[in-house]
Structure 1
Amino acid sequence: MTAMEDRRVDRLLGARDTGARLPRDPDLDLDAAYLLAAEVEQRLGERGNRRVGRKIGFTNRGAWDAHGLDRPIWAPVYDTTLTRCRSLSLGALPEPRLEPEIVLGVSRYPEIAWAALGVEIVASHHPGWRFSPAEAVADFGLHAMLVLGPQLPVDGLADVEVALSGPGFSTTGRGANALGGPRHALAALADLPGATPVADGEIVTTGTLVDPPWIEPGQRWTLQVAGGPELTVTTRP
């Protein structure tokens, strides 16, 4: 790793620790970003963060043009960012948003052992959510935390319909919004840059089902599956 790359990693980890904003990095390309992400993962592992799965981001093609994307991105999910807790501390997260998602438990790829309703909290250290695809990858894939909710039947996931409601906000989505369905999103993961084979037992969250709302402390958000379970989370400082 060059001195410049080492400084980039230090800057990324510092932003993660403090919520500091990151400067734009126009010279960073996607391949280099995934190499940085791998080094960040190694450093986080040295701190005691164990990877338990992955998040697939930008599986909703409707968001690609705004960020110059032509494919999804991926990033690790750690034991320290995965939770079943429904009361979420936003801490110093910059410009957090809430994404309703379908989470898959992989038994032996591509077999799915279970599916669950989930909420991913995402955040951007680049002000205004203005970033290149490479900057998004380096910025932890925008991943902050993943809330694991009630389980869903593993069949028909593309047809799952959800409603998300919160303060002054209400919208609906469906499983097919995630790259045609969670199974399609999982299959696409194998072709993304830097992606190693999905290991037995990995948890994979497959992308937002709606345009994610901005969130702040002191709110209550409910994700309801049509004819199925719900997941309610509250936010605090």
Structure 2
Amino acid sequence: MTSELSAVAKRLDHAIQSATATHQLPADQQVDAATGYAIQAMGVELRQQRGERIVGVKLGLTSRAKMEQVGVDEVTWGRLTDAMRREEGGTLVRADFIHPRAEPEIAFVLGRRLTGDVSLAEAALAIEAVAPAIEIIDSRYENFKFSLSDVVADNSSSAAFFIGGYARPDTDIANLGMVLSINRRPREVGSSAAILGHPLRSLVAAARMTARAGHVLEPGDIVLAGAATAAVPLASGMQVEAEVQNLGRVRFDVR
């Protein structure tokens, strides 16, 4: 069984490196979420063998808009590596991805360890800073179609991310307006309240869900709380910007 899971992880990793879509898990090989996370861990280990370093985690499918967009109904998580982080205001090369999409998010930077079942208050005390962010998701599956186990195995579609300037950890993020603009025109508008009702709940979920896999959130880790709106497909020539009320902006160009 381990060899079969490893083969799936290697196939997904090849899809990432070659920017070529691969097929979904066959119907007769569908696995549960726990097995999907095992495949995810194998895939991230392949990245680490190439020299990448884990710098945090992302939460996926944290808004009703995202769940409806991809047709699943459960929050997921994936690992972030240093190779995924891109310079704010920089350039994203479209050819490096299969079918990339951008979504506006809030990022947390942790100042202390956070793991297991924690309260909202404990999660808040662990934050060192908050910031506006854009995550680039890029399912490695054909036609951007997948089941819950598919997406979990695929590191929850995580591909790249941009983070803007840091704000104080006690900034009120409960109900902030969030706008994703393409070529300076608003494309998606939402509220941080769409992220599980409050972005802090994503941090609580991250601590709980990652602990199940033996993963601990450490000081300095980045946690992407999840999207407040549906994701927007990217094409060369786009200027992409996310503005989060009271937090600021983050932007990049697509080449």
Per the alignment, residue 179 of structure 2 pairs with 163
CA separation in 2, counterparts of 1:227 and 1:187?
A: 22
Count of residues in Structure 1 that have an aligned counterpart in Structure 2? 236
Moved more, 12-21 or 152-161: 152-161
Q: Is the 8 A contact 2:132 2:247 kept in 1?
A: no
Per the alignment, residue 42 of structure 1 pairs with 45
1:144 to 154, 159, 173: 159
CA drift at 1:169: 5.2
2:127 to 100, 103, 112: 112
CA separation in 2, counterparts of 1:62 and 1:113?
A: 29
Q: Is the 8 A contact 1:54 1:204 kept in 2?
A: yes
Moved more, 68-77 or 208-217: 68-77
Moved more, 18-27 or 160-169: 160-169
Q: Which runs of 5+ in 2 are unaligned?
A: 115-122
Q: Is the 8 A contact 1:224 1:231 kept in 2?
A: yes
Per the alignment, residue 118 of structure 2 pairs with none
Moved more, 100-109 or 78-87: 78-87
CA drift at 1:152: 3.0
Per the alignment, residue 225 of structure 1 pairs with 244
2:101 to 90, 97, 102: 97
CA drift at 1:129: 1.8
CA separation in 2, counterparts of 1:112 and 1:2?
A: 37
More helix by share: 2
2:33 to 17, 30, 52: 30
CA drift at 1:48: 0.1
Moved more, 181-190 or 167-176: 167-176
CA drift at 1:170: 2.3
Amino acid at match of 2:173: L
CA drift at 1:91: 2.4
Q: Which runs of 5+ in 1 are unaligned?
A: none
CA separation in 2, counterparts of 1:133 and 1:48?
A: 29
Q: Measured at CA, do residues 218 and 68 of structure 1 come closer, stay the same or move farther in structure 2, by a change above 3 Å? A: closer
Q: Measured at CA, do residues 45 and 235 of structure 1 come closer, stay the same or move farther in structure 2, by a change above 3 Å? A: same
Q: Is the 8 A contact 1:84 1:149 kept in 2?
A: no
1:131 to 109, 126, 146: 146
CA drift at 1:190: 2.8
Per the alignment, residue 53 of structure 1 pairs with 56
CA separation in 1, counterparts of 2:191 and 2:148?
A: 25
1:187 and 2:191 are equivalent in the alignment? no
Amino acid at match of 1:104: F
CA separation in 1, counterparts of 2:85 and 2:247?
A: 23
The alignment's TM-score, normalised by the length of structure 2, stands at 0.85
CA drift at 1:42: 1.5
Q: For 1:164-183, what per-residue CA distance to the aligned partner results, in whole angstroms no more than 9, with x for missing partners?
A: 21146523111111111221
Moved more, 146-155 or 11-20: 146-155
CA separation in 1, counterparts of 2:32 and 2:246?
A: 44
CA separation in 2, counterparts of 1:169 and 1:135?
A: 31
Moved more, 75-84 or 191-200: 191-200
Per the alignment, residue 232 of structure 2 pairs with 213
Q: Measured at CA, do residues 106 and 223 of structure 1 come closer, stay the same or move farther in structure 2, by a change above 3 Å? A: same
1:177 and 2:197 are equivalent in the alignment? no
2:92 is paired with a residue whose SS is strand
Moved more, 65-74 or 145-154: 65-74
CA drift at 1:128: 2.5
1:190 is paired with a residue whose SS is helix
The alignment's TM-score, normalised by the length of structure 1, stands at 0.91
CA drift at 1:225: 2.9
CA separation in 2, counterparts of 1:70 and 1:233?
A: 30
